[in-house]
Amino acid sequence: DVKVTQSSRYLVKRTGEKVFLECVQDMDHENMFWYRQDPGLGLRLIYFSYDVKMKEKGDIPEGYSVSREKKERFSLILESASTNQTSMYLCASSLTGRQWGHDPPTQYFGPGTRLLVL
């Protein structure tokens, strides 16, 4: 079974702090994703990585950066946390289009990190 783990389930930080959210997958997936989920807004893509050291902005990248130094690990960084970044953060991974085979990729999600910025 694919396993995607996130470093924390709950996190409380203060405004202005630098925050690191870590995600690790064990299925050798090339694609990894960071989403934030807010009530009434669904899941919104923050950043996407399709290979080591490669990244692509999603719909809401402002205030965030990412790092992918190893294939299995994708980090989301809040350079200076703000209260409007209080949210649920979800990491996911998937095969890439070249690996699809017959079926397009499904995404496998971690359990989420609920971040509160005070």
Partner 1 sequence: SQQGEEDPQALSIQEGENATMNCSYKTSINNLQWYRQNSGRGLVHLILIRSNEREKHSGRLRVTLDTSKKSSSLLITASRAADTASYFCATINTDKLIFGTGTRLQVFP
Residues that bind partner 1 (CB under 8 A): 4, 31, 33, 40-45, 48, 50, 58-59, 88, 90, 92, 94, 96-97, 103-112, 114
Pick between residue 48 and residue 64 the one whose CB is nearest to partner 1: 48
* Residue (13 or 50) nearer to partner 1, CB: 50
Q: Which two tokens stand for residue 27?
A: 């299925």
Q: How far is the CB of 65 from partner 1 (least distance, A)?
A: 18
For partner 1, give the closer residue by CB, 64 or 109.
Answer: 109
Q: Give the Cα separation of 10 and 62 in Å (integer).
A: 22
- Judged by beta carbon, residue 42 or residue 101, the one nearer partner 1 is 42
d(CA 115, CA 103): 34
Q: How near is the Cβ of 96 to partner 1 at its closest, in Å? A: 6
- In sign, the C-alpha dihedral spanning 21, 2, 70, 32 is negative
